């Protein structure tokens, strides 16, 4: 993806052919920090961090000035202030963020009924049917940016393409406050020079595996035989990455969204500092959440990690999947990735929890191009069968088994 400080921002020329770019991804720029700056316009040109100013806190958000110092969300606050000692720290106001999010999503709904909200600050829009009323996709993208800024004072970046993946990638390249249109025929020219980390779903582990193969750009992945990719990252993931590298993404904008969640959390009797124990608890909770999802015939797209520290400050981190899942291993990997960004030295955890949001009917979902979970789904369903017969705990991951003391 693009650098988070906006230093490699790319936007479209006015003459771009946008006739095939009817899927938009709209992302509010540095959302939490930008909302805070509405109340503090005198700080616009200064480095601003949103979060609790304490040794154990983490950065909730940072404006683009602070990002140029290497400050990013989820970074330990102590590290952020070492990198940018002059930063102004503002306390988060979640009710304010929700107010502005609702207002922005209402603007999207006035443009097209086909809006798929991904989180508090981003959404996909299908504007194919809105062209007669509002104009071409590029015109609509510009309209959205103007309207959001006029009605809220916030800026947003828009990516327009023929597929969701490319639209989201384009909005990241356009940040901050830009519009980037990728015509269908220019998809590969846009994608192939990008680093492999720009592929949706490629985390640190997968990226390292690809780099070991000498695959540094998306074009390298596209030109690699499918069998080689599957041997390296798994059958389902290899096929997904290969399709993405060729710009193939059949997903459409989905407007149905369940405002409910399935989750587990635990409050420890004593604060826990052992990172291995916390990761083990995450695995246990993820498996339990997945079992509940499968039992209810549901799948979910958003994995949320919740941590409460010894000083009672609480943080949450969410990660949105390309496709919904009911697989414990996938839920754990997403929760663990969020946890790794927060697990600073000396962390003292009072509560830890995992929940899955954006739930939907599990029939037929999670089984297509975007499903990286095929290798685990059968095994976990087999565990469900054993559990139903012999009770929970009859089969557990090896990492949850304590060695015998004797």
Catalytic machinery residues:
122
Q: How many CB atoms lie within 10 A of CB 226?
A: 13
Which residues face 58 on adjacent strands?
76
Cα–Cα dist 159/168, whole Å: 6
Cα–Cα dist 275/272, whole Å: 8
Burial class of 397 by CB neighbour count within 10 A (0 to 12, 13 to 18, 19+): middle
Cα–Cα dist 25/155, whole Å: 14
Cα–Cα dist 193/169, whole Å: 13
Cα–Cα dist 12/181, whole Å: 6
Q: What tokens appear for 299 in the block?
A: 């799948």
Enter the DSSP assignment of 188: H
Structural element, H or E, at residue 344:
none
Can you tell me which residue has the tokens 């929760």? Answer: 335
Measuring CA to CA, how many Å separate 207 from each of 173, 214, 240? 19, 11, 14
Cα–Cα dist 297/364, whole Å: 10
Helix/strand number for the chain, H first, E second: 15, 12
Q: What tokens appear for 73 in the block?
A: 């969300």
CB 265 within 8 A of CB 353: yes
Dihedral angle of Cα 60, 317, 29, 174, to the nearest 10 degrees: 130
Which residues, in sequence order, are CB contacts of 353 under 8 Å at separation 6+? 263, 264, 265, 266, 285, 305, 306
């Amino acid at each position: 993806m693009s650098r988070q400080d906006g230093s490699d921002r790319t936007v479209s020329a006015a003459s771009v052919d946008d006739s095939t770019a009817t899927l938009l991804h709209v992302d509010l720029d540095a959302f939490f920090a930008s909302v805070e700056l509405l109340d503090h316009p005198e700080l616009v040109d200064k480095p601003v961090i949103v979060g609790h100013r304490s040794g154990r806190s983490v950065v909730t958000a940072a404006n683009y000035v602070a990002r140029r110092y290497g400050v990013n969300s989820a970074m330990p606050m102590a590290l952020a202030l070492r990198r940018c000692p002059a930063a102004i720290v503002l306390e988060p106001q979640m009710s304010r963020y929700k107010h502005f999010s609702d207002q922005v999503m209402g603007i999207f709904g006035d443009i097209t009924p086909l809006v798929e909200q991904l989180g508090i600050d981003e959404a996909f829009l299908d504007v194919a049917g809105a062209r007669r009323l509002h104009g071409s996709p590029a015109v609509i993208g510009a309209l959205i940016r103007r309207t959001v800024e006029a009605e809220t004072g916030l800026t947003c970046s828009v990516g327009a393409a023929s597929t969701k993946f490319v639209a989201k990638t384009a909005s990241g390249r356009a940040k901050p406050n830009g519009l980037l249109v990728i015509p269908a025929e220019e998809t590969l020219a846009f994608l192939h020079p990008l680093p492999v980390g720009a592929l949706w779903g490629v985390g640190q582990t997968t990226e390292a595996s690809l780099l070991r193969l000498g695959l540094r750009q998306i074009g390298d992945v596209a030109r690699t035989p499918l069998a080689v990719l599957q041997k390296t990252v798994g059958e389902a993931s290899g096929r997904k990455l290969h399709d993405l590298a060729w710009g193939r993404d059949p997903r459409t904008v989905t407007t149905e969204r369940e405002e409910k969640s399935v989750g587990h959390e635990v409050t420890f009797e004593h604060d826990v500092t052992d990172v291995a124990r916390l990761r083990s608890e995450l695995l246990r909770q993820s498996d339990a959440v997945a079992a509940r999802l499968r039992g209810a015939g549901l799948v979910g797209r958003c994995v949320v990690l919740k941590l409460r520290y010894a000083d009672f400050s609480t943080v949450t981190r969410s990660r949105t999947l390309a496709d919904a899942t009911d697989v414990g291993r996938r839920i754990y990997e997403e929760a663990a990735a969020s946890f790794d960004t927060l697990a600073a030295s000396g962390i003292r955890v009072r509560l830890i929890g995992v929940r899955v949001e954006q739930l939907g009917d599990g029939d037929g979902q999670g089984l297509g191009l975007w499903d990286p979970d095929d290798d685990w789904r059968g095994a976990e369903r087999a565990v469900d069968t054993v559990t139903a017969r012999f009770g929970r705990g009859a089969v557990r991951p090896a990492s949850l088994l304590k060695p015998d003391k004797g």
